[in-house]
Amino acid sequence: MRVSTNRPGKREAPPAPEPLAPLVDAHTHLDACGAADVEGVHAIVDRAAAVGVEAVVTVADDLDSARWVTRAAEWDPRVYAAVALHPTRADALTESARAELERLAAHPRVVAIGETGMDLYWPGRLDGCAQPPPSARRSPGTSTSPSGPANR
């Protein structure tokens, strides 16, 4: 049996495109792109900077990655962090996890809360996903907002 040597992460990077106007990539996963340490973070962010990306927000999707993105944001001044649990991991949101996420969110390099939301993207795979409480399911035209349609 022959094992392929052309696996993701083993290929040569494509040539860089023309530089962009200065911008911030507000949703990256540096760890999923192969960064595991300071040098890996610098390498990826340097590559992005070469085409006009001045800063990135690297986003957590579980508690381990929330810790990691917070550390990564300390390693490079062009990196900021977003911490939370992905909606498909909502069943892991214990009181202990919530307390740690709140502590991490207070870090000066954490600029957002994310991955968050009601993840209904994975039809048939919603076990463990956050579900809206019954009180959040309202009939069309109702609102609790003073300017909502029911209050006009």
Within a domain: 80: yes
Within a domain: 123: no
Number of domains in the chain: 1
Within a domain: 126: no
Q: What is the mean pLDDT of residues 12-30?
A: 86
Which range has the worst mean pLDDT, 42-51, 86-95, 116-125, 138-147? 138-147
Quick check: 136 pLDDT over 60?
Answer: no
Within a domain: 36: yes
| Furthest-apart CA atoms within the chain: distance in Å | 71
Quick check: 31 pLDDT over 50?
Answer: yes
Within a domain: 77: yes
For residue range 65-76, what is the model confidence (pLDDT) as tens digits? Answer: 999 999 999 999
What's the pLDDT score for residue 122?
A: 63
d(CA 136, CA 125): 22
Within a domain: 151: no
What's the pLDDT score for residue 149?
A: 37
Query: Which residue pairs from 9-13 have beta carbons closer than 8 angstroms and sit at least 24 positions apart in sequence?
Result: 9/34, 13/47
Q: Are 109 and 81 in contact (CB under 8 A)?
A: yes
pTM over 0.75: no
- Could you tell me the pLDDT band of residue 147, with boundaries at 50, 70 and 90? very low
For the domain that residue 57 is a member of, what is the CATH number?
Answer: 3.20.20.140
Within a domain: 18: no
Domain that holds residue 44: 23-118
Within a domain: 65: yes
What's the pLDDT score for residue 107?
A: 98
